[in-house]
A and B are shown apart, each in its own frame.
Chain A
Amino acid sequence: DAGVIQSPRHEVTEMGQEVTLRCKPISGHNSLFWYRQTMMRGLELLIYFNNNVPIDDSGMPEDRFSAKMPNASFSTLKIQPSEPRDSAVYFCASSRGRNTYEQYFGPGTRLTVT
């Protein structure tokens, strides 16, 4: 299995630009999670989907952030407009379902907003 795939691995953009992060979960996994990791705040859950439906988006910092999961094999996290404080590593993870506890993480996207 290829594992969770994220793209791009690195993104550098200027403040105000739109950023789109992509994730392909492990085939057969029904739950998908977006996390953000910073030195100051550690690992934060932004949003998670179950069967392509957003279940909990309480971790999304503000309206500039949005996430979609149009099908079982693809999800996007969009930031528009981006700000320097959005600089972080963004991880996508997937699991078989709500009652299967372990999550499998992708390699992450390192975002730098200048």
Chain B
Amino acid sequence: AQSVTQLDSHVSVSEGTPVLLRCNYSSSYSPSLFWYVQHPNKGLQLLLKYTSAATLVKGINGFEAEFKKSETSFHLTKPSAHMSDAAEYFCVVSENEGSGNTGKLIFGQGTTLQVKP
């Protein structure tokens, strides 16, 4: 079975400083991994995805994530935080039952990013 663990429920940074949101995954198969963002009172938006191509994935709004198989990690980073980055971030893995992808996504519990002026 697959799972994701977001190591921080809440992260606070100052505007202009780097962002690091941590995610570890568990999967018996080559995983497909995603980061989604949810702004207050909005739906979830795909930030970026990893599907076994380049291990460093670039997403929207300056975010990127690096797939590290040896560490089973998929941390999300951004060099310089902006006030508009304040939101809930979800690390997600696709479910695979050996016979292939089921189409379902498994969500982490979320990390709330606070950006201080």
By the criterion CB–CB under 8 Å, are B94 and A43 in contact? no
Which residue of B has the minimal Cβ distance to A97? B103
Q: A42-B110, A43-B90 are in contact. Are A101 and B42 (CB under 8 A)?
A: no
Interface size of B in residues (CB-CB distance below 8 Å): 22
Q: Given that A42-B109, A42-B110 are contacting pairs, would A105 and B101 also be in contact in the complex, using a CB cutoff of 8 Å?
A: no
Question: Could you say which of A50, A103, A108 contacts B105, with CB atoms under 8 Å apart?
Answer: A103
Does the CB pair A102–B34 fall under 8 Å?
A: yes
A107 at the B interface (CB under 8 A): yes
Interface of A is mostly: strand
The B interface, classified by DSSP as helix, strand, loop or mixed, is strand
Interface size on A, residues (CB 8 A): 25
Q: Are A108 and B43 in contact (CB under 8 A)?
A: yes
B interface residues, Cβ below 8 angstroms from A: 32, 34, 36, 41-46, 49, 51, 90, 94, 100-105, 107, 109-110
Q: List 29 A-B contacts (CB under 8 A).
A: A4-B43, A33-B104, A42-B107, A42-B110, A43-B44, A43-B107, A43-B110, A45-B104, A50-B103, A56-B104, A91-B43, A91-B44, A93-B44, A97-B103, A98-B103, A99-B101, A99-B103, A101-B34, A101-B49, A101-B51, A101-B101, A102-B46, A103-B105, A105-B43, A105-B44, A107-B42, A107-B43, A108-B43, A110-B41
* A42-B109, A56-B104, A99-B100 given; 13 more Cβ-contact pairs under 8 Å: A31-B103, A45-B104, A48-B103, A50-B103, A99-B103, A101-B32, A101-B51, A102-B46, A103-B105, A107-B42, A107-B43, A108-B43, A110-B41
**3 tightest Cβ-Cβ pairs between the two chains A and B:** A98-B103, A105-B43, A105-B44
